[in-house]
Chains A and B, each alone.
Chain A
Amino acid sequence: MRNLLLHLIPLLLALLALIWPSDRTRPRLLPLAGILHSALTLWLLFQPPAPSPQSWLGFDPLTRAVVPAISLPFLICSFYGVAYLRLRQERPNRIFVASLLALLGLITLSLQSQHLGLLWVAMEGATLVTVPLLHFNGTARAFEATWKYLLVGGTGVALSLLGSFFLGYSAAGTASGGDLTFAALVENAHGLVKPWVLAAWVVLLTGYGTKMGLAPMHTWKPDAYGEAPGLIGAILAGGLTTVAFVALLRVRQIVDAAGFAHATTVTWMALGLFSMFVAGMFLLGTPDFKRMLAYSSVEHMGILSFGAALGPAGVAAALFHVWNNNLAKGALFLSAGNLRRTVTARTAPEVSGLLLLAPVSSRLLIIGMFAVTACPPFGPFFSELAIIRSAFEGGHALATALFLTFLLLAFLGMSRLVFAITDGRPRLSERHKASTALPPGGAGGRPAAPMDRQSPKGSKWPEQPGVILPPVIFLGCSLLLGLATPPALRQVWADAVTFLFGS
């Protein structure tokens, strides 16, 4: 019963947010949901409920290995959300807060789904509640990004439904015909009709791969992450993509059991390396620091796929990397969001010298960039090392060489852009000069509102603790996970691998 609360609480709070009267106090529901969700997750992490193979919802070892990696970033982001919405009082936040809470609920529901159809329903729901979050800024560019997200994401979700039907049809002739729970499908895997299983893997890899953002189905990502608030980027890059990855892990278990282990390994590894290559190329070229984060996310989805293709040791490393990626991405998106708000521009020719304009956020972005590109004391270094080790042990020398080359490309691309915008003499976009040339307090004439308070550098986005501390905490967690990975967590990942592959 405890695990049902895990998605019911955020969904009920989402309803409450819809009817909550005050724009000022509504954002406080976010930390409330974050705290309740994390507390419940901790309890379930250390005292997992008894397995219930027949039910459609369950907190199995795989769920247990990833739910905390979503709950913790949401908790940190929820405090950022309160500060962010206080600084952006010009936008109504009713739909925003409700959608964000519903997103947490639906992500948790997808992770707990033990049924192919239910998983799809929850995932589609999560895709749809994301839409109002993407166009929160209400600009023409935001609507353009939302449209592209809907068309590409909608087609991806439609394809994953088709793949689920294929998999369902392959089981239609078996003894347990209509039972589409994952446990039943794995158990009857040898009886599944083979051509349909293979077709299902191809279509589901495309469909859920679109949600993960694997190249070449990644085209929605730069637009969506570029236009959405940084907070939303952090939750999408660290939440929704994880759900799609877990869905593919579950499907892969069935397809492998049906005798296609070689096909899944080859396709997943190829798609992973291709995503890393595409991301590396775009990272070398893009001038926009928020789109850079989207390509970095594509790269890390490639790393996860590559790791997952490498058998039990690789999957354990990939689950570790899910944690590292979600934490490092949180720091990057939040600090980049601060910078974007400080200068109201985001391409390298328009912006430079951010170290002087927003010293703390810029430093956080630089450290976050080193963390996410796997520089030693941070977590991603250790998980990528584990992936490389299992690739070598699996005898994939050429693939490992490509993997390392693409990591280097991504590092060069990201460091180039991050230092281009942070170093040098401060330069602001024309639009920003025009907007700060207004007399103080001129925007909207709300004299006491915090967003009108001018910081010493003339910025409308003061570096308050509320928007600075969350990325600092993200970096701290990432460091902690790298330097002193809790043995309990290693055990949790090992349990998930045993669950997926047998002992």
Chain B
Amino acid sequence: MTDAINLLVGLALGANLLALGSSRLPSIIRAAAIQGIVLGVIPLLLKPEFHWLVALVSIGTIAIKGFVIPALLLRALRAANIAREEHPLLGFIPSLLIGASATVGAVILAGHLPLLPEHRGLLLVPGALATLVSGLVLLVGRTKAISQVCGYLILENGIYLFGLLLIRGTPLIVEAGILLDLTVAIFVIGIIVDRIQREFDSLDTGKLTSLHE
């Protein structure tokens, strides 16, 4: 079971690097979608006995992070008629390097963290930390609204990975509430992205500059 989980976390880490190194916006969206699906499967493997709420959280995660949100983002992309991140604040090679070194650093760091015995063999903690960093890099290093939304999604995925450590202890209703909130958050972001596209005729957040001191 541990091997299967580690394999999935490894896939999620691969999706991070894919998102960091790509200049094509559809590729970034797809990387985030793959990551969402992979993460949705992990709760089923973590809980040995079947529970309907686990299944619900799992199916909900896969449906929303893997399909609904990517479809919304791809639609926004078509409406805005853009396909690339042309002038990122942080280049693609430096982003990749940061992502890769964060992955290595997270694995080393996790070896020194006080983890519970049953979590020692798992890659969940290093996976969570590396995904968090990748999300933050996308969030601050890109200028297109869509890339920033993907960065936010990946950041949330990192936090979700960490939250899986608590799945035995915390009541699942809390997890369900968190999932619900995240869904609404992304929907709201989607609406605002749409309105920005209409108002500014662009999804380049570099153009949002009228508010400053």
User: A residues within 8 Å of B by Cβ?
Assistant: 115, 117-118, 120-121, 124-125, 128, 131, 135, 140-141, 143-148, 150-151, 154-155, 158, 161-162, 165-166, 168-169, 171-173, 177-178, 180, 193, 195-196, 222-223, 226-227, 282, 285-286, 291
Contact = CB atoms under 8 A, between A and B. Distances in A.
B211 A150 contact: no
B199 interface: yes
10 contacts: A124-B178, A147-B192, A150-B192, A151-B152, A155-B136, A155-B139, A161-B163, A168-B166, A168-B169, A169-B162
Contacts of B170: 117, 168, 178, 180
A161 B205 contact: no
Contacts of A135: 192, 195
B211 A144 contact: yes
Contacts of B163: 161, 165
Given A143-B199, A151-B139, 8 more contacts: A117-B171, A117-B174, A135-B192, A145-B211, A161-B163, A161-B178, A177-B169, A226-B211
Given A128-B184, A147-B205, A226-B211, A158 B156 contact: yes
A137 B141 CA distance: 30
A165 B211 contact: no
Given A121-B178, A151-B148, A143 B155 contact: no
A131 B188 contact: yes
B113 interface: yes
Most chain B CB atoms below 10 A, which of A147, A150, A226:
A147
Interface in B118-176: 132, 136, 139, 145, 148, 152, 155-156, 159, 162-163, 165-166, 168-171, 174
Interface magnitude class on chain B: 35 or more
Contacts of A131: 188, 192
Contacts of B185: 124, 128, 154
A162 B169 contact: no
A120 B180 CA distance: 12
Contact of A165 (B139, B165, B180, B196): B165
B114 interface: yes
Contacts of A144: 196, 208, 210-211
B159 A158 contact: yes
A348 to B, nearest CB: 13
A169 B152 contact: no
Given A143-B195, A155-B155, A165-B165, A285 B213 contact: yes
Contacts of A171: 169
Nearest to A194: B114
Contacts of A178: 166, 168-171
A479 B154 CA distance: 49
Q: Which 5 residue pairs of A and B lie closest in terms of their CB atoms, listed nearest first?
A: A178-B169, A117-B174, A121-B177, A124-B181, A144-B208
A165 B162 contact: yes
B211 A172 contact: no
B152 A148 contact: no
Contact of B116 (A118, A143, A173): A173
A337 B60 CA distance: 43
Most chain A CB atoms below 10 A, which of B116, B165, B180, B199:
B199
Contact of B114 (A128, A168, A195): A195
Contacts of B162: 162, 165-166, 169
B153 to A, nearest CB: 10
Nearest to B155: A158
B189 interface: yes
A153 B194 CA distance: 19
Contacts of A286: 213
Contacts of A117: 170-171, 174, 177-178
Nearest to A140: B199
Contacts of A143: 192, 195-196, 199-200
B166 to A, nearest CB: 5
Contacts of B139: 151, 155
Interface string B50-67: 000000000000000000
Contact of A162 (B116, B132, B188): B132
A143 B211 CA distance: 11
A146 B190 CA distance: 12
Contacts of B136: 155
Most chain B CB atoms below 10 A, which of A143, A168, A223:
A143
A172 B166 contact: yes
A479 B128 CA distance: 51
A169 B195 contact: no
Most chain A CB atoms below 10 A, which of B136, B139, B163:
B163
A158 B166 CA distance: 17
Nearest to A120: B178
